[in-house]
Amino acid sequence: MMNYDRKLDSAWWGLRIGLGLGPFLAGLDKFFNILTDWKMYLSPMATRMLPVSAVTFMHIVGVVEMVVGLAILTRWTRKASYVAMAWLVAIAANLVSSGLFYDLAVRDLEIALAAYTLARLTEAREATQEVQNYDLPDTSPVLGLRKSA
C-alpha cells in the first residue's frame, strides 16, 4: 500500500493546475496562433507524412491538448497525466527530428516528468482516500464494532 503525506497536497494542486491549464491554453492557441505559429514546430518529415495540411493537423492537436488539459483538471487526473506524459515525449521526438528546437524538446521532456509525477502523486492520494473511506462490515465480531447508519 502507498503512503501519502498530506503535506504534498500543495505540490499536487500546483502540478494539477499547471498541467491542466497549460495544455488547455496551448491547445486553444492552436486555433489563434497568438503565442506562436505552431505549425513551424512540425518536422519536415512529419509534415510530409500527414494526410492533412499542417494547419488542420495543428487544430486536431489543439483539440487533443484541450481535452487532456480538462481531463487533468477533472476526475481523470491520473489517466490524463499519463496521456500528457506520452504526448509530451512524442512532441519532444518531433522537435528533435526537425533538427531544431532542442531546447524546447528538453523542456517538453521535463514537463513529461512533471506529468508522470502528477500521475504517481494522484495514485498515492487516491489510495489514501480509499483507505480512509473504507466501510466497516455491518458487524465486526472481533472488535465488537457496528457500522453506523
15 within some domain: yes
Cβ–Cβ < 8 Å for 129, 6:
no
148 within some domain: no
- Coil, helix or strand for 6? helix
140 within some domain: no
Cβ count within 10 A of residue 125: 18
pLDDT above 90 coverage of the chain, percent:
79
28 within some domain: yes
Confidence of residue 139 (pLDDT cuts 50, 70, 90): low
Q: What is the pLDDT of residues 120-137, one digit of tens each?
A: 999 999 988 776 665 545
Report if pTM > 0.85.
no
CA dist 134 → 12, 38, 65, 121, 123 (Å): 23, 48, 35, 20, 17
43 closest CA partner among 92, 88, 104, 95:
95
78 within some domain: yes
Cβ–Cβ < 8 Å for 84, 115:
yes
44 within some domain: yes
142 within some domain: no
Q: How far is CA 86 from the centre of its chain?
A: 9
Q: Which three cell numbers stand for residue 143?
A: 472488535
State the residue range of the domain holding 47. 7-125
Number of domains in the chain: 1
Q: What is the pLDDT of residues 52-104, one digit of tens each?
A: 999 999 999 999 999 999 999 999 999 999 999 999 999 999 999 999 999 99
94 within some domain: yes
Please give the Cα distance from 41 to 33 (Å, whole number).
12
